[in-house]
Structure 1
Amino acid sequence: MTQDNTIALSTWLKLFLLALVWGSSFMLIKKGLLVYTPTEVAAIRLAAAAAALAPFALLRLHRVKGKQWLVLLSVGMTGSLLPAFLFAFAQTQLDSGVTGALNALTPLFTLIVGALFFAQRIAPKTLVGLSIGFAGTALLVLIQGSGELSLNAYALFIVLATICYGLNLNFIKQYLPNLSPVTITGVSLLMVLPVAIIYLAGPGEVGTKLSAASDMQAWWSLAAVIALGVVGTALALILFNHVVQIANTTFASSVTYLIPIVAVSLGLLDGEIITLFQVAGMGLILVGVWIANRQSSKPIAATPNQVGASEAAR
């Protein structure tokens, strides 16, 4: 990021690419749940992501020093392990589009965690933009097509996941500015991999379901979850953490304002219903992103350890 804190066009493009990838993740979870349990979906996802980055992570273990090991374990827990299980359980009762919309709580919790524990400043303009985006999210989640107010209790799993993401963002920005995206993502996933392996080797029944399948659905569902792990978790986390380092936590977490647009659109293609309320909500989300990330003369959500334009490719 330049000294006047202008967000470069290339950084915006990376943000939109992340929105496309992560917005598709909820549909992939939905397809995985057609055959596998939530815990199986989460475990396969984590195992695939960790396996994809394991060769790179192993070569970078020597770069991790001292207390960074504990921080990376925290990143693995809050950025990958816990959200993987929480999202899978939530989508047993939530549409993929609604789940994607709830993701937009992440910037709010990022700001709250940063302000409470990391002495970050919240610019009034940023707060206004995030509030508008959150209002759009609330419209997507709370108002049904009939105009009635309704919220599925399983949404609380997503709320917990977004709190985890808020912690994760601040951990990376505050404590790991000098580690590359590949190192942070690969090593943190490697540290939580044993949880997935223990479950898949023990109570998990993935192999049984694949061998007993009378059609290809079990294999298609497995492919969907593996794609979710490799592309939607491993590769996307590298890009995401890179954006955190070259921009700021508020800008990076704003990707979750764009995710509902992708998630709801894919849900529509898969037979889910989209209403005028959802269209209005997506419009508010876009306006909120624009306001929160307009060029400013002062940094927003700044941390003591600001990351310069030079990134160490994770």
Structure 2
Amino acid sequence: MDTNRKKWIYLIVLSLIWGSSYILIKKGLVGLTPIQLGAVRVLFSSIFLFLIGFKWLWKIDKSKWKWIAASAMSGTFIPVFLFAYAETEIDSSIASILNSLVPLFTIFIGFLVFKVDFTKNQVVGVVVGLLGAILLIFQGANVNPGQNYFFALLVVIAAVCYAINANIVKSKLQEVPVMAISVGIFAVMIFPAIIVLLFSGVFKTETLQNEAFQTSLLYIAVLAVFGTGMAKILFNKLIQISNAVFSTSVTYLIPVVGIFWGILDGEKFTSIHLLASGIILLGVYIVNKGRKKETPKT
């Protein structure tokens, strides 16, 4: 299969997996605290990846481990907790839409930190996307006055983290095998996750015997294996065969899936939400239209 077709297949599969992640987080929070959810998610994902690819750890050069660690923290560890806390106050569909800011921040971080050139169109796209995000947050606060929409800023911070990670993988880990990157980042995170879990109260008898906890654990197991473990492998491969901006364009499609699940779960979604979502995606489109062509890696 040619590289161009392969990258589009990866993009669509990732959008379906990650678009479903937000509703799984919401269901997981019924029986888990945000700190428990984040730690359990990392732990389950680590176990899954170690089972299928532990041997790949030996293929990581010592000089690359600092970038593996940076990718682990920015691309997974910090965001899993940010999203968990954010969804205690905002709807899962809103979280999925705000995640569309990732390509905009990818351009911004790429220029500031990694010295990647940008175009005038990309600057316009970033501004348009941020205006859409502001409108979405304010509308969400109006429609759901009982929710604290300052928590939406946690999703924005997570989007910045994802943008940093995309640039790290593309510029610093291009020559490292995809499985090695994926297993390596969880090798970095597993011990911090265990420490967090030990102090989270998850091992209390009353917690373990709680039916809501047990059901939530199943949701997070699915999220960990598919939404974190398998998706991380696919995403790292997508970055390597395309580029950081195209890869993060998966956020074009994620909101469609996220909104679908949110509406099925009874979340409110108004015409203003739709307008704000469209503005964000317009910004992402302008950014992608304005990027310079890159030769895909095979």
The residue that corresponds to 2:274 in the other structure is 279
Structure 2: how far apart are the matches of 1:146 and 1:158?
A: 18
1:240 Cα deviation after fit: 1.0
Q: How does 1:133-172 map to 2 (within 5 A)?
A: 133-144=129-140, 152-172=149-169
| Comparing 159-168 and 78-87, the one that deviates more | 159-168
1:141 Cα deviation after fit: 3.0
8 Å Cα contact 2:137-2:149 kept in structure 1: no
Task: Say whether 1:110 aligns with 2:106.
Answer: yes
Structure 2: how far apart are the matches of 1:200 and 1:276?
A: 41
Structure 2: how far apart are the matches of 1:145 and 1:160?
A: 18
8 Å Cα contact 1:182-1:238 kept in structure 2: yes
Task: Say whether 1:43 aligns with 2:39.
Answer: yes
Paired residue type of 2:242: A
Distance verdict in 2 for CA 1:122–1:195, change over 3 Å: same
TM-score (norm 2): 0.88
Structure 1: how far apart are the matches of 2:289 and 2:122?
A: 9
Deviation digits for residues 145-183 of structure 1, max 9, x if unmatched? 968999711122222212211111111111110112211
1:69 Cα deviation after fit: 0.8
Distance verdict in 2 for CA 1:257–1:291, change over 3 Å: same
Distance verdict in 2 for CA 1:140–1:65, change over 3 Å: same
Among 295, 299, 302, which residue is 2:293 paired with? 299
Distance verdict in 2 for CA 1:227–1:16, change over 3 Å: same
Task: Say whether 1:258 aligns with 2:246.
Answer: no
Deviation digits for residues 193-222 of structure 1, max 9, x if unmatched? 001112323443256355432x4x322211
The residue that corresponds to 2:11 in the other structure is 15
TM-score (norm 1): 0.84
8 Å Cα contact 1:126-1:293 kept in structure 2: yes
Task: Count residues with an aligned counterpart.
Answer: 296
SS of the counterpart of 2:253?
A: helix
**Unmatched tracts of structure 2, length 5 or more:** none
1:263 Cα deviation after fit: 1.3
Q: CA RMSD in A?
A: 2.7
The residue that corresponds to 2:184 in the other structure is 187
SS of the counterpart of 1:255?
A: helix
SS of the counterpart of 1:153?
A: helix
SS of the counterpart of 1:34?
A: coil
Task: Say whether 1:32 aligns with 2:28.
Answer: yes
Paired residue type of 1:240: F
Structure 1: how far apart are the matches of 2:174 and 2:233?
A: 14
Distance verdict in 2 for CA 1:146–1:205, change over 3 Å: closer
Structure 2: how far apart are the matches of 1:174 and 1:220?
A: 40
Deviation digits for residues 233-264 of structure 1, max 9, x if unmatched? 11111111111111111111122232222212
Whichever structure has more helix as a proportion of its residues is 2
Percent identical: 34
Q: How does 1:196-211 map to 2 (within 5 A)?
A: 196-206=193-203, 208-209=205-206, 211=208
Question: Which consecutive aligned stretches of 4+ in structure 1 deviate over 6 angstroms post-superposition?
Answer: 145-151
SS of the counterpart of 1:87?
A: helix
Paired residue type of 1:55: L
Q: How does 1:49-64 map to 2 (within 5 A)?
A: 49-64=45-60
| Comparing 140-149 and 222-231, the one that deviates more | 140-149
SS of the counterpart of 1:154?
A: helix
1:129 Cα deviation after fit: 4.6
1:286 Cα deviation after fit: 4.8
8 Å Cα contact 1:86-1:161 kept in structure 2: yes
The residue that corresponds to 1:303 in the other structure is none
Paired residue type of 2:61: K
8 Å Cα contact 2:101-2:280 kept in structure 1: no
Structure 2: how far apart are the matches of 1:295 and 1:160?
A: 24
1:278 Cα deviation after fit: 2.3
Structure 1: how far apart are the matches of 2:245 and 2:167?
A: 10
8 Å Cα contact 1:101-1:141 kept in structure 2: no
**Unmatched tracts of structure 1, length 5 or more:** 301-305
Paired residue type of 1:44: V
| Comparing 140-149 and 164-173, the one that deviates more | 140-149
Structure 2: how far apart are the matches of 1:54 and 1:148?
A: 42
8 Å Cα contact 2:90-2:148 kept in structure 1: no
